[in-house]
Chains A and B, each alone.
Chain A
Amino acid sequence: MPRLIVSILLCIGLLATIESGLRTALFHHASYSNSESIDAQLAERDASPHWNILLVGDSETRWGIHPQEIDEAFRRADVEAHAFNHAFDGFGASWWPVLLPPLLQHPSLEHVKIVALGVQMIDAHQVIGQRAQCGALQEPVLTSAFGEDLGLRALCRSESWDTALGNRLFSWLWTVRYASAIKSLLLPTPLLPQTPLRFNSRKSGEPFHGFEPHYAIAHDRGSYAEEFRRWKAQYNERDFQPLAAEIWMSLTSAGGFFDRLLNTVNREGRELVLFAAPTNPVVIDTFGRRADYETNSFLLRQWAVARRVPFLDLGIQDVGSPDSYFSDMRHLSGEGARLFSRQLGKALVHSLSSPTIELLAEANPSVRQ
């Protein structure tokens, strides 16, 4: 019996040592979000917890909104703002009603007063339920340690009640909670069930407050043509059709997607701002959705006016020099992002009511008005 007790104590000691080691160094060596890009973004976010404007959306927002230009626009209006680009590649508007509540609980986002969501005007959106259609860009992130901490793993993985109970009971153990991250340390990458996301997009500089600048089309026109061909080939002919009219009618109706989004943000004590995500008109025209854009913009504006929510639509970006303004058939280049964000910043400042501006000031005691 004494030897068994020694054995039990040794095992507990081993577990305690492993736990201590994991808590000290796990995420220095393993990816937290299964995406190098998001890891860097989260590290930047947590480095300075003074953000009071949060920019969210998908890659159009991530590549296209430069927080520095937003901050500058507010500074010109004598308001000190600290915007952070928290958009994730692949996470369109549909995902944010479920992502925002746990995300806004993070200590580094406690001063956030405005949540600005980039809405893709030519796509359909939907309310994500208990189980979501997780794609190749969403699943690695939502099933990572980051997804676990947000409590969103179940969106991509079905869990029976007993598995959920087991996970909850033992989630205080990092060995259990972050098992997949530990596995990624022990096994070489090709043998992992969930390969970490690595984008080979043409980044043109260091990230800035979550924003990632990218080279313009002009930088390598040959690659763009090839990429456009491959992008188009992944769609079927039926995708290049206008959207059904009732989709956006439903999204903007009472109790529809945008109402739910607004309720979610308001429940968290934040103000919602919507803006039309900047997209290369090539995509809009290839899909044959220029008319859809106008109709949807009208519907969303009506909805926004009725709910007193700022909606900033800078229109389709039919710029004179698309090859320097855009990075590919969808996203803005670093230069384009600067120009667009400057305009968006101005529009944002003008759209906000005085109480909201005061809220921003309250959010950060150092803010001067």
Chain B
Amino acid sequence: MLFDSFVFSGIFLPLSLALFWLSPSNRLKQLVLLFTSLLFYGYWNVAYVPLLIGMVFVAWICARQAGSTSSTWPVWLASTCLLGILFVFKYMNFFGHAFVDMRLISPDNEPNLHFALPLGISFITFQSLGYVIDVHRKDTSAEPRFTVVLLFKAFYPQLIAGPICRARQLMPQVMGPFRCTRAQFLAGLAIFTIGLFLKFVFADGIASHVDALFLRPSGHTRLESWAAAYGFGCQIYADFWGYSTMAVGLAYMYGIELPINFHLPYLSDSIREFWRRWHVTLSQWLRDYLYKPLGGSRRGQTRTVCALLVTMLLGGLWHGANYTFMLWGLLHGAALSVEHLLREIRPDDTTAASHPFNGLIRIAGWCYTMLVVCIGWILFRATDIGQALSITESFFFGKDFGIATPAVMQITFLTMALFLLQIPIHTAIRVLAEGKMSEEWSFACAFSLLLGTIVLGAPQTRPFIYFQF
């Protein structure tokens, strides 16, 4: 079930909210929320509901053991089981193919598993594993009730594509008591419609044009390569920001607060800052559970660079089993490493607000960041390395500049519109999330955005990009 489908917003959401808030006791509310969350997941493919429950069960058992021992074996056990499941479903075919390419195994022995990738399996794995590690680190206590842990993971607004919530953040909230004022409910509704607006108007509006450019294996003009890169940058931003915003809004309607996942990433003046603003909960997860255990920034330059490269490489691989994602991760890892080394040799005062060239430095930093990010998006979106290289080549060296076709104009218009509107949209989300907007304005905001979405939205919706991860 997709947040932007009528079956969700017209049928499932009103019914599940009514059932939830009409339930007389806290325990019943929990059970309703759990049932509706499993229904939400099972609507896509009921066969994978046991897999979800099984993965959470493994995390629950391991977390209970981790809570009662200082040994790391429960963490290793959880990692083996959960990452093993992720590997089988997501990476087995890819690595099998890679091993055949490297002639490590014969083509006859290449694994060829044919089943649909369980929806949101990467998110489920990360959040479940994070819970076990948090318990081991004593950041949170092991929850004795399985249903609470299951609800922590299965809570449907964040189940499939995040935000990746920490146990200490979400678990106390799903235990109740559930409280939600009318103002908070309406604020949630308004936040949800902002997400719908981002998805329907920008992400879906630009998707068909971007898809058309990426469907061509080569032969792009320079203008088309730019449009492909910046267009996909706009699409994935609106798509994932829209999804995360919808998730925050939905959770609000249940009286639950989820972290805001995007903080104007395209205004960053370095890749380091970009990752502090883009998919914040994933960045934090990678930092806390991968980068720091790999040595972080406290064990010398070489170790730091290696940790950055490995973290981003695995972050890329987490997105998908393809060389393009690995290269995307490595590109970001390399940029982060260079920035880290430059920070070591650059005097601190160049970044100070009082520095005479501060404005120029920030603009140059922003241009560099946008360039790296958009080259990265080409890798992220391309079907294979060959296409990525072809588009990147014409991005820089294309002899044919090309003409502004209607598709290129639409991409440019929507990209610029999103770039200009991102600040007011982000401000509106923050104001609503902080409860600073009165209920009548929240309602008016939700109503007008819904009208705007109906009129300006794309004629056909696309699945959320991050659902495939």
**Other-chain residue from B182, B186, B444, B459 in contact with A193 (beta carbon distance below 8 A):** B459
Q: Does B208 contact A (CB under 8 A)?
A: yes
Closest to B208 in A: A193
Q: A4-B440, A193-B458 are in contact. Are A162 and B6 (CB under 8 A)?
A: yes
Q: Does B46 contact A (CB under 8 A)?
A: no
A162 to B10, CA, bound (A): 9
Encoded as 1 (CB less than 8 Å from any B CB) or 0, chain A from 129 to 171 comes to 0000000000000010000000000000110111101100100
A275 to B221, CA, bound (A): 48
Closest to A3 in B: B440
Q: A157-B460, A190-B409 are in contact. Are A11 and B447 (CB under 8 A)?
A: yes
> Which B residues lie within 8 Å of A160 (CB)?
5, 7
Cβ A194 vs Cβ B5 within 8 A = no
Q: Does A195 contact B (CB under 8 A)?
A: yes
> Which A residues lie within 8 Å of B410 (CB)?
190-191, 193
Smallest Cβ distance from A8 to chain B, in angstroms?
6
Cβ A163 vs Cβ B6 within 8 A = yes
B residues 432-459 in Cβ contact with A at 8 Å: 438-441, 443-444, 447-448, 451, 454-459
Q: Does B413 contact A (CB under 8 A)?
A: yes
Q: Does B102 contact A (CB under 8 A)?
A: no
**Other-chain residue from B7, B10, B182, B457 in contact with A4 (beta carbon distance below 8 A):** B182
A47 to B10, CA, bound (A): 40
B residues 220-260 in Cβ contact with A at 8 Å: none
Q: Does B424 contact A (CB under 8 A)?
A: no
Smallest Cβ distance from B459 to chain A, in angstroms?
6
Interface secondary structure of A, over-half rule: helix
Interface secondary structure of B, over-half rule: helix
Q: Does A10 contact B (CB under 8 A)?
A: yes
Cβ B458 vs Cβ A162 within 8 A = no
Cβ B438 vs Cβ A166 within 8 A = no
Cβ A179 vs Cβ B7 within 8 A = no
A45 to B193, CA, bound (A): 42
Q: Does A126 contact B (CB under 8 A)?
A: no
> Which B residues lie within 8 Å of A286 (CB)?
none
> Which A residues lie within 8 Å of B5 (CB)?
160, 162-163
Cβ A183 vs Cβ B455 within 8 A = yes
A33 to B293, CA, bound (A): 62
Encoded as 1 (CB less than 8 Å from any B CB) or 0, chain A from 1 to 37 comes to 0011011101100110010000000000000000000
Q: Does B11 contact A (CB under 8 A)?
A: yes
Q: A6-B440, A162-B11 are in contact. Are A179 and B406 (CB under 8 A)?
A: no
Q: Does A317 contact B (CB under 8 A)?
A: no
> Which B residues lie within 8 Å of A161 (CB)?
7
> Which B residues lie within 8 Å of A176 (CB)?
454
Cβ A179 vs Cβ B454 within 8 A = yes
Q: Does A180 contact B (CB under 8 A)?
A: yes
Q: Does A182 contact B (CB under 8 A)?
A: yes
Cβ B440 vs Cβ A7 within 8 A = yes
> Which A residues lie within 8 Å of B438 (CB)?
3
Q: Does B316 contact A (CB under 8 A)?
A: no
**Other-chain residue from B6, B443, B444 in contact with A166 (beta carbon distance below 8 A):** B6
> Which A residues lie within 8 Å of B458 (CB)?
193
> Which A residues lie within 8 Å of B6 (CB)?
162-163, 165-166
Q: Does B205 contact A (CB under 8 A)?
A: yes
> Which A residues lie within 8 Å of B459 (CB)?
143, 157, 180, 193-194
Encoded as 1 (CB less than 8 Å from any A CB) or 0, chain B from 59 to 75 comes to 00000000000000000
Smallest Cβ distance from A9 to chain B, in angstroms?
11
A165 to B1, CA, bound (A): 15
Smallest Cβ distance from A85 to chain B, in angstroms?
30
Listed residue (B205, B448, B455, B460) with the most chain A CB atoms within 10 angstroms of its CB: B455
Q: A3-B438, A186-B456, A190-B409 are in contact. Are A162 and B443 (CB under 8 A)?
A: no
> Which B residues lie within 8 Å of A187 (CB)?
456
**Other-chain residue from A14, A166, A183, A191 in contact with B409 (beta carbon distance below 8 A):** A191
- Interface contacts beyond A7-B439, A161-B7: sample of 7 additional A-B pairs, CB < 8 Å, sorted by A: A3-B438, A6-B440, A162-B7, A169-B10, A190-B409, A191-B410, A193-B205
When A and B form their complex, which 3 residue pairs have the shortest distance between CB atoms, in order from nearest? A166-B6, A7-B440, A162-B7
A-B contact pairs, 11 of them (CB 8 A): A4-B443, A162-B7, A163-B5, A163-B6, A165-B10, A166-B10, A175-B451, A179-B455, A180-B459, A193-B205, A193-B208
